[in-house]
């Protein structure tokens, strides 16, 4: 690529492809003057967008507000933890020390418990890594699909091979088992089972999408099945690039 | 406060009464980030028109535009936790998200159907009577229209094709039959001129 600096305009009007966009964003990280310029140009294009404003149909407003009440929010960015650590190094270090001290007390007082805690901790860290991988991926795309009261929100990054699955409204019955399937050229493969808590939100599931092009959810007997045995309740086409 | 910043603020608060306390969109988003659905309803009131209008400009198809507007507004709810006021205004954050989503859609459509939209007969902005617009949006539209006329034809067409029609700079280069490097430069020069004309400060 030639001078990445010259791409700020094309970036601000969204005229770069995904690779170029990712390269330019990487360049931005190390170029403070570019950051200011891009920020100003994005404020400028926002005005171009505002100038095209059109009222939304009332039904759309009602649909979004309704969906919002059933949709979980993303946790605050995990990636910016490093940036925050730089900004607030002291506070964070002090927090870690306190956390370490707490953990020490647990280890002494509740030996068996501590093992479990550490295990949960490492699970959390692992999940944090997955969230970070997904969020830092320039090609991460979010698709929301609603079908018969059930809503699935899937965020996929092909480059990071990460996927996050969130659902709501799956069932009003407690204790049902749902199975997540990734369907690719070789047919469906299981990506995990889950149950819903009183029909509210299902847990967030993370997995690598691999070569799958469709995600599906079926209801299965407790413990799950090797292959889907019922018709999918939710089907979401996954972005390929 | 610059004129454009004032406009962003005004657009973000449609209440015409000067006595009404102005809640900044940024502050509303902060409440949304804590799960405040009433604050989100207010964000929807202020931002959905600009989002929908932009998405419709890019996608043209009304049904698809409604779908994408819905996705974008839902994503504002989901990711309000990640809005960082240090990176820019709330409106710019939302509009960038809307534009990206619309462009994603138009590009995947294009690659699927290989549909080519012709240049001819496209208006730069919708006619006034098409939209029941607020005073602020009307003023903004006027300012943008005026400032767009201060650009060279090539600057204006490059920005128009990329931003309002979702074309990549390669497509713009082909459509306008000018070298890639020239398109990149014209986009940047044109936006800088617009920025100065509209009085944008970061």
Q: Per residue in A26-70, pLDDT tens?
A: 999 888 889 999 999 999 999 999 999 999 999 999 999 999 999
| pLDDT at res. A128 | 57
Residue B26 reports pLDDT greater than 70: yes
- Hey, is B182 helix, strand or coil? helix
Interface test with B, best of A9, A20, A239 (most B CBs within 10 A): A9
For the question of an ipTM over 0.90, the answer is: no
pLDDT tens-place string over residues B27-67: 999 999 999 999 999 999 999 999 999 999 999 999 999 99
C-alpha span between B71 and B65 (Å, rounded) = 10
The answer to whether the Cβ–Cβ distance between A14 and B162 falls below 8 Å is: yes
Q: How far is CA A206 from the centre of its chain?
A: 9
Interface test with B, best of A36, A37, A48 (most B CBs within 10 A): A48
Which parts of B3-134 fold into alpha helices (H)? 3-11, 25-33, 37-59, 62-79, 90-113
B-chain residue closest to A63, CA distance? B70
The answer to whether B91 faces chain A, any CB pair under 8 Å, is yes
The answer to whether the Cβ–Cβ distance between B200 and A44 falls below 8 Å is: yes
Biggest distance spanned by C-alpha atoms of chain A = 64
Q: Which residues pair with A145 in a beta bridge?
A: A152
| pLDDT at res. A220 | 81
Instruction: Encode burial over B34-64: b for 16+ CB neighbours within 10 A, e otherwise.
Output: eebeebbebbbbbbbbbbbbbbbbbbeeeeb
Tell me the domains of chain B and their CATH numbers. 16-115 (1.10.1740.10), 120-202 (1.10.10.10)
Mean pLDDT of the region B150-155: 95
Rounded alpha-carbon distances, angstroms, from residue B3 to A47, B11, B160: 12, 12, 23
Q: For the sheet containing A234-237, what is the strand order?
A: A187-194, A177-184, A214-220, A234-237
The answer to whether the Cβ–Cβ distance between A54 and B49 falls below 8 Å is: yes
Select from B49, B89, B201 the Cβ nearest to the Cβ of A56: B49
| pLDDT at res. A188 | 84
Which parts of A110-152 fold into alpha helices (H)? 111-136
pLDDT tens-place string over residues B87-110: 899 999 999 999 999 999 988 876
Residue that is written with structure tokens 């419709």 in the block: B56
Contacts of B189 in chain A (CB under 8 A): 9
The 10 Å Cβ neighbour count of residue A156 is: 25
| pLDDT at res. A12 | 97
Residue B118 Cα, gap to closest chain A Cα (Å): 18
Select from B66, B81, B188 the Cβ nearest to the Cβ of A6: B188
Sites in chain A below the pLDDT cut of 70: 1-3, 77-136, 147-149, 168-176, 196-205, 241
Residue B111 reports pLDDT greater than 60: no
| pLDDT at res. A214 | 84
C-alpha span between A41 and B190 (Å, rounded) = 10
The 10 Å Cβ neighbour count of residue B111 is: 10
C-alpha span between B81 and A87 (Å, rounded) = 19
């Amino acid at each position: 690529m030639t001078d990445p600096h010259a791409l700020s305009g094309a970036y601000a009007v969204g005229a770069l492809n995904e690779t170029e966009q990712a390269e330019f964003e990487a360049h931005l990280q190390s170029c403070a003057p570019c950051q200011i310029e891009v920020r100003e140009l994005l404020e400028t294009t926002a005005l171009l967008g505002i100038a095209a404003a059109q009222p939304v149909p009332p039904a759309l407003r009602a649909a979004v507000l309704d969906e919002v009440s059933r949709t979980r929010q993303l946790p605050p960015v995990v990636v910016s933890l490093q940036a925050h650590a730089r900004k607030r190094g002291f506070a964070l270090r002090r927090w870690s020390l306190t956390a370490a001290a707490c953990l020490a007390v647990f280890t002494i007082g509740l030996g068996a418990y501590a093992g479990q805690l550490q295990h949960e901790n490492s699970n959390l860290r692992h999940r944090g890594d997955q969230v970070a991988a997904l969020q830092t991926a320039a090609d991460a795309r979010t698709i929301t699909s609603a079908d018969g009261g059930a809503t699935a929100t899937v965020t996929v990054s092909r480059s990071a091979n990460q996927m996050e699955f969130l659902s709501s409204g799956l069932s009003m019955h407690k204790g049902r088992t749902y199975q997540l399937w990734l369907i690719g050229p070789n047919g469906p493969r299981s990506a995990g089972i889950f149950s819903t808590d009183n029909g509210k939100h299902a847990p967030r599931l993370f997995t690598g999408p691999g070569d799958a092009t469709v995600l599906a959810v079926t209801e299965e007997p407790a413990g799950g099945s090797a292959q889907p045995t019922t018709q999918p309740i939710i089907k979401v086409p996954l972005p390929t690039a | 406060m610059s004129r454009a910043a004032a406009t962003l603020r005004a657009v973000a608060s449609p209440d015409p009464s000067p006595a009404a306390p102005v809640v900044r969109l940024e502050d509303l988003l902060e409440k949304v980030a804590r799960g405040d659905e009433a604050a989100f309803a207010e964000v929807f009131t202020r931002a959905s028109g600009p989002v929908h209008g932009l998405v419709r400009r890019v996608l043209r198809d009304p049904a698809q535009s409604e779908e994408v507007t819905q996705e974008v507004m839902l994503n504002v709810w989901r990711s309000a936790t990640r809005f960082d006021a240090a990176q820019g205004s709330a409106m710019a954050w939302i509009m960038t998200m809307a534009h990206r989503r619309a462009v994603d859609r138009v590009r995947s459509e294009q690659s699927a159907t290989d549909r080519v939209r012709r240049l001819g007969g496209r208006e730069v902005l919708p006619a006034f009577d098409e939209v029941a617009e607020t005073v602020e949006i009307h003023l903004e539209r006027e300012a943008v229209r005026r400032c767009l006329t201060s650009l060279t034809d090539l600057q204006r067409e490059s920005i128009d094709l990329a931003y309002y029609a979702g074309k990549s700079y390669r497509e713009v280069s082909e459509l306008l039959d000018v070298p890639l490097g020239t398109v990149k430069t014209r986009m940047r020069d044109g936006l800088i001129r617009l920025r100065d004309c509209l009085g944008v400060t970061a």
